[in-house]
Structure 1
Amino acid sequence: MIGQPARQRTSLLARVDRIVSSILAIAFLVTGFQTGYRLTHGAGQAVKVIDRSPGTEHGPAGSVPVETVVPATEPLPMWRGTDRVNILVMGIDQRPGSALPGRADVIMIASVDPVEREVALLSIARDLWVEIPGHGENRINSAYFYGEFEGTEEAGPGLMKRTIEHNFGVAIDYYGTLNFECFKQIVDILGGITVDVPEAISDDRYPDDSYGYMRIYIPAGSQHMNGETALQYVRARHETSDFSRMRRQQQVILAMREKALRLDIIFSLRDLLPVFRDAFSTDLPAQDLLALANLATRIELEDVQLRVIDESLTIPYVAPDGAQVLLPRLQRIRGMIANLLEDSPVITESWDPELAEARILVRADASSPGLAIEIADYLRRRGYTARAESDGLQIESDGTFIASRREMAGTAALISALLRVGPEYVILDPNLKEGSDIVVTLGRSFVMPE
């Protein structure tokens, strides 16, 4: 900055301030929606972090030195839109020094209703076994890796957005990613956070930075955590489930919000800039981010809903490679999301709980018993209740037919689309075999969908 004219320095600082403010705005979306005004409006003022919890071993040492006073920013713009805004927020596990892309280790949808001034935060398990467009089935967090590795125009965030839309039927407007180093530094800048740990966390296989494992232990009770410990708390899972892990993530988000509201200080632009450089990305325009930050100041905690895709919405499953994963009950998940995000654009047809519980029988010729089992398993992985039958059956037709009770016609139509069976082969039959609502009879020319 030495040798630059004063006007040029001021202009540059203003642009940088806007960038940092934009970065902060996405953090507001996952930290309780009320810290935006203080931090953004004060981002240009020079003070030091003075809130430290004395006597704790976890608080970062010292305060942040500040040497230069930067003028305060201008007022934030107003959010003018009336439609709900859905933002995919991801925490990326990028190992230091690795040439390979990271994976999305934390996956959330932050949805803002600007009219009702309400927010919904939905946590998605990284081990959900879903269909990734163009890549077959895999864990949902692999979508980010595939997109980054292939170097396509949409990259990792774009493929993650398409995967969410394809499986859950909710349109994603924007994304924001933050790596774990940045998360740790944010917690440290806050002076650490206090979390009530409901039960002790012990993990002998917590991943370290050298592609090995380390042991971590976090005792139960009220714990003051620095950035490293907070990250361990939200990532540990060896002796717990993905569901408890997601609930811990939301717990830490609220703890960060509470700490930011309690702090009687603001942060220097010069302190924040190194934290976020190369650690954050989003496709939200800067002005829209600032407007969302402004909107965030008007949303109360009681108007923030937290949801997790939990045990009631998934089925434990062993993947082809032997890994323990979770099959999403897609119909139920889509219904939950439709209720949570009432006015959000839905990509697929509306959900009906009666259709989701349809009992499906898959039949194949006795000469191909594995085919019926394979298709029944294919449907179960997509949230349907399906079983196979082939013993003693002789199927003469080349074509595949789907017979359905009238009240299950909607589900039959969805299944026909999944199996690439033309609508002319879907019939209504009130006299189906007892115990079945839909019967899929696989013809001799049936080909498994890719």
Structure 2
Amino acid sequence: MSFSSRRVHDSEEQPSHSHGKKWANVARMVLSVSGPLCKWYITHRQKEEERERDRRILHTVQKFFIAAIAIALALLIGTIVLRSVSSISLPSSFSLGEKTATIPTDTQGRTNILLLGEGDETGEYLLDSIIVASIDEATESIGLLSLPRDLYFLKTESMGEGRLNSLYRDYFYELTAHGKSKEEAEEEGMKQLAKEIGAALDMNIHHTIKVNFEGFVQAVDAIGGVTVYVPYDIVDPEYPGPNYTYELFEIRQGTHHFDGETALKYARSRHSTSDFSRSERQQMLLQALGKKVKEEGLLRKPHVLLSLFQNFQEHVYTTMSIPELVALAVKGRSINTDTIFAMQLSDRNGLYGDVLEPGGLLYTPPRDLFDGASVLLPVSIPEFPVTWKQIHTLSQLFFGIRTLHLQTPSIAILNAGAPPGSAGKLSSELKKFGIPITDVRNAAEKQEDSILLAPGELAAGSVLATVLHLPLQEEPTGSQDITIVLGKNYQHSRLQDLLSSMQ
């Protein structure tokens, strides 16, 4: 079969060959110019799209992991997460898939986190630092309570008895001996320890975060070190060295810039001072870290962010999911450093002529009762049996009724006819629960009724009057924010009993 072809339209007049060549030349010229231009435009668009994709990826990484990185940095010894988080701007909500991340709260709207600092090879799985952080959105505040490693638990639900720093380790080994994997034992151990500490403090602890020493060292190095003022000389000849040895750690009073290793030594050293002085140093480091992160905007720098994220993956362990970490960061974004307050439990209880300090609710029992070990138990009233009632009272005042710790009013106590020593006794009672008294003396005149004087706009006055079961009289009190007048009808009661009657 043959085929023939014809033109669809035949023109009566055909263009000349020269005219066709002219337009062909024009087309070739246009193509020669537009071709490279189009190629440049396509390449430019591809590069812009790549840069935009990189920006989106980085932004996603920041949103997913900013909380985790802030936590890894602020977990100086397990802490804080939260000072650094408070300096970061995050969206008011964050959605992962179809669900918005949430974080649990207790009946008062607080989220409570147990922060743990874990030892190195010289004390594997031993806890070097234990801090409870309570975040309260209503007052936009965070309370940090440090617990000493030697605090002894005579009885627990499932972890046996022992020092606080070894309970986790012993339970971890027990779980692995019964077939649990390392990861399963770590998670279950953290959850159970949070439950036991929550019972001791009479509060719900919702999650646990744990960081090891190497994680802290790398986090400090990632932000370029930290500058700290050292208030006194430290000479520690028994700082733990490599391979179960000791080495000398020495630092003199003054301002120093620490790298990660030195910051860790400053936080851990205890042979030249006490565990309680060490907690104070750890809080100073925490403040310095938070200040540097906030002022220099370090968590907005990609290289710092990614370095800290890698550190977080390797050295931080938590019972929280990534969405919950993000929700925690969102929850803490309104927190200001001025509304972060801290205290540590100690044995500076004022008994037997000793110094009394806030948090002095522990004592050291005879060593022969604990196979020669030095441990700490809660001061109990009455003395036997050992109870946690005083610690419960502190927890209620420190975490629950936190107005007195946020406003820190100046308080005077005047004895206006109460039994001798009543003003001093009340002053000591308030001080050990973290409520300092600035003036204790006899009133110029005696009166029958006890009363608390405070300006009407001072919330702390109303709170303290309620706690002490005293009538409130709203009026200026001169040089002090609050004045407590103890009249002839005053009868001293311990805060432990006063607060229990309010429940």
Name the TM tier (shorter chain). 0.5 to 0.7
Shift of 1:264: 4.4
Please say which structure displays the higher CA radius of gyration.
2
- Local SS of the residue matching 2:314: coil
Report whether the alignment pairs 1:238 with 2:271: yes
> What are the Cα deviations for residues 274-323 of structure 1, in whole angstroms up to 9, with x where unaligned?
22222111122322321221232311122111111022211123252312
Deviation at 1:36, TM superposition (A): 2.9
TM alignment of 1:165-184, pairs within 5 A: 165-184=198-217
State the TM-score, normalized to the length of structure 2.
Answer: 0.55
The residue that corresponds to 1:117 in the other structure is 140
* Equivalence for 2:364: 316
Give the Å deviation of 1:328. 2.3
Partner AA of 1:327 in structure 2 = L
Structure 1 residue aligned with 2:317? 281
The residue that corresponds to 1:298 in the other structure is: 334
Alignment equivalent of 1:93, drawn from 119, 125, 129: 119
Q: Does 1:84 align with 2:110?
A: yes
Matches within 5 A, 1:36-435: 36=85, 83-95=109-121, 101-131=124-154, 133=156, 134-151=158-175, 155-265=188-298, 266-268=300-302, 269-310=305-346, 311=348, 312-317=360-365, 318=367, 320-329=370-379, 330-342=388-400
Name the CA shift for 1:9/1:258 in 2 (closer, same or farther; >3 Å).
closer
Q: TM-score, normalised by structure 1?
A: 0.61
Residue identity opposite 2:284 in structure 1: Q
Cα 1:80–1:298 change in 2 (3 A) is farther
SS in 1 for 2:112: strand
Moved more, 215-224 or 10-19: 10-19
Q: Tell me how far 1:132 sits from its aligned partner.
A: 5.1
Distance in 2 (alpha carbons) for counterparts of 1:332 and 1:80: 27
Structure 1 pair 209/166, CA: closer, same or farther in 2 (3 Å)? farther
Amino acid at match of 1:24: I
Task: Please name the residue that 2:474 is paired with.
Answer: none
Verify the 8 A CA contact 1:187 1:193 in the aligned structure 2: yes
- Inter-CA distance 38–331: structure 2 relative to 1 (3 Å threshold): closer
**Aligned-partner Cα distance in 2 for 1:340–1:20:** 30
Rounded Cα–Cα distance in structure 1 between residues aligned with 2:104 and 2:167: 33
Q: CA deviation at 1:137?
A: 2.8
Aligned to 2:65: 20
Give how far 1:108 is off: 0.3
CA distance in 1, matches of 2:150, 2:371: 13
Report the CA distance between 1:188 and its aligned residue. Answer: 1.2
SS in 2 for 1:170: coil
Q: Where does the alignment leave 5 or more consecutive residues of structure 1 unmatched?
A: 1-5, 43-75, 345-352, 358-406, 415-450
Cα distance in 2 for partners of 1:284, 1:256 equals 23
* Compared CA separation, residues 131 and 17, structure 1 to 2 (3 A): farther
Q: Which amino acid aligns with 1:206?
A: Y
Higher helix content, 1 or 2: 2
Q: 1:106 to 1:37 in 2, by over 3 A?
A: closer
Indicate conservation of the 8 Å contact 1:123/1:309, yes or no. yes
Kept in 1, the 8 Å contact 2:102–2:323? The answer is: no
User: What secondary structure sits across from 1:35 in the alignment?
Assistant: helix
The whole-number CA distance in structure 2 between the counterparts of 1:192 and 1:113 is: 30
CA RMSD of aligned residues (A): 3.7
Equivalent pairs, count: 311
Deviation at 1:259, TM superposition (A): 1.1
Distance 1:93 1:145 in 2: 11
Structure number with greater CO (CA < 8 Å, separation at least 6) is: 1
The offset of 1:24, in angstroms, is 2.1
Query: Relative to structure 1, is the Cα distance of residues 204 and 292 closer, same or farther in structure 2, using a 3 angstrom cutoff?
Result: same
